[in-house]
Amino acid sequence: MNRLSKMSAVAVVCCSLVATASTLTAAQKILSVDVQKVFENYEVAKASRAARSEAIAAADRELKEMYDSMVKLQEEISELNEKAENATLVDTAREKFRDEVTQKIETLRIKEGEFMRLRQDVNRKLAERRNKEFIEQNREIEEVAAGIAKAQKADIVLARIAVLYINDSLDITQLVIDKLNEKK
C-alpha cells in the first residue's frame, strides 16, 4: 500500500471515530457543579467553618497564655541570674539564687515541652476535624448532585473546575446549594 493510501485509510478511521464520539456525546446530558461555590454557600459548611474558627481562637488563647507564662519565667531567670552575679553577695546567697535559676530553667523546659505537645495536638485535632467534616459534606453534596442529575435525566455531572466551558443552563450549582440548605 502506498503512502497516500495509508494516509487516506487513517483519515477515514479518524473521521469515523470523531463521528462516533460526536454521536455518543450528543446523546449524553452533562451537568456541572461549582463545588467551591457550594461549600461557600452550604449553611452546614459555613457553621463548621465558624465552629472551627472559634476552636482555633480558643486554642490560640490557651497557647498565648502558656507562651506568656514562659516569657515571664525567662524574665525571672534573667533577674535571678543578675542577682546571682552581684559581687556583694555571700556565697550562700549566690548559691540560693543559682539553685532557683536551675529550678526555673527545669520548669521552663517542662513548659516548653507541654507547649509544643499542646500545639501539635491542637493542630492534629483541628486537621482531623476539618477532614472529617469535609468528607461528610462532600458526600452530602455528591448525593444531592446525583439526585438532581437523575431527576434531570443527566448522564454525567462534572466539577465546574474541570470544565473549560459549559452552557450556564447545565450548571446545577444553585440547585445543589438550595437542596442542601433545605435539608438542614
Strand segments (E) across 5-160: 30-33, 156-159
Going from N- to C-terminal start, the domains of the chain cover 28-183
pLDDT reported for residue 184 = 64
- pLDDT at residue 87, rounded to an integer: 80
Low-confidence ranges of the chain (pLDDT < 70): 1-27, 184
3-state secondary structure of 18: helix
Fold held by 28-183: Protein Binding, DinI Protein; Chain A (3.30.910)
Question: Which residue, 39, 38, 55, is CA-closest to 127?
Answer: 55
The β-bridge relationship of strands 30-33 and 156-159 is parallel
* Backbone angles phi and psi of 88, in degrees to 5: -85, -5
**pTM across the whole model:** 0.70
Q: Exposed (0-12), middle (13-18) or buried (19+): which is 157, by Cβ within 10 Å?
A: buried
* Sign of the alpha-carbon torsion through 97, 99, 101, 103: negative
pLDDT value of position 27: 65
pLDDT given for residue 20 in this prediction: 47
